[in-house]
Chains A and B, each alone.
Chain A
């Protein structure tokens, strides 16, 4: 999933960022700890499920959940962002090539209004 902050004057389709990019490496000690405590990663896996649901069988619940998780996360790591947008990018193999396809593009939404 990718997201971007939306500014009113902006007209270009740019500044998309990957949501929660994975770290370059995870140490053995961190790996051991994650066996017992891994809430952030499991929430990210839930987000993957929601993305698949939104692509295959769109529901208001899936879209609302993704918006809430995105807004809540950004509220913690990058407070001050008012309007947001997300898109789902699926990668698949066709023969020897990897094909990227945008399967969903949300409308811009106000972050502060949906954080529970």
Chain B
């Protein structure tokens, strides 16, 4: 995937994810509806491809207002990834030097890779995760399962142990998929299914859409490092 194609794909996926988030905010954040209407307009400008830089600058300024209004991220990790993609895209677009454009976009790819690897590493070091206990506790008494029926998963220790180790191994091994394009495409497909499962089980729909938006950067990065040279 070329640099230009990856940047454009990221812009489109980011704009769609932001529109989805903003429509939800129109329902819940009633005191600052004007801000999310403006955000949707900026996303439409970004989607059109006619005014990418003004749209990205507007979205970046809105992200600062949102951080101030909610005194931090509204939706935890998905908002952090939103900010990361937005600011890397903006830097990749406004910096005049081709080298720094590549550095900004490669930083996004590196952070995406680390988001999986570090998450897997932290789980590997935690005996509760290695035994499957942590995942059983998530189902048993955390705030995340979307229905009471899902709490029954906590009574299935073998399944929770298997799921825990599947996630740990996948997250740790994902960086190796950079060695070949087909391997990376397969790995990102599995990663998307992982986020889809989290959306279905724990209601983390925003994570699903925003992580997808970062995937073009990794596809470009793999091509740039291993195949373009």
Do A and B make up one complex? Answer: yes
* A interface residues (Cβ-Cβ under 8 A, vs B): 22-26, 31, 34-46, 48-49, 53, 59, 61-62, 91, 93, 98, 116
Q: What 4 additional pairs, Cβ within 8 angstroms, besides A45-B143, A98-B141?
A: A22-B147, A39-B24, A42-B74, A49-B74
CB <8 Å contact, B71 and A34: no
A38 touches B147 (CB 8 A): no
**Residue numbers in A under 8 Å from B73 (CB-CB):** 49
Main secondary structure of the interface of A (DSSP, over half): helix
Known interface pairs A39-B28, A42-B75, A45-B76; A91-B147 also in contact (CB < 8 Å): no
Q: Which B residues are in CB contact (< 8 Å) with A49?
A: 72-74, 76
Least distance between B112 CB and chain A CB atoms (Å)? 21
**Residue among B23, B72, B146 making CB contact with A41, cutoff 8 Å:** B146
B145 and A22 within 8 A (CB): yes
Stretch from B47-55, B95-103, B198-206 at the A interface = B198-206
Inter-chain contact A35/B208, CB cutoff 8 Å: yes
CB–CB B28/A62 < 8 A: no
A residues less than 8 Å from B25 (CB atoms)? 39
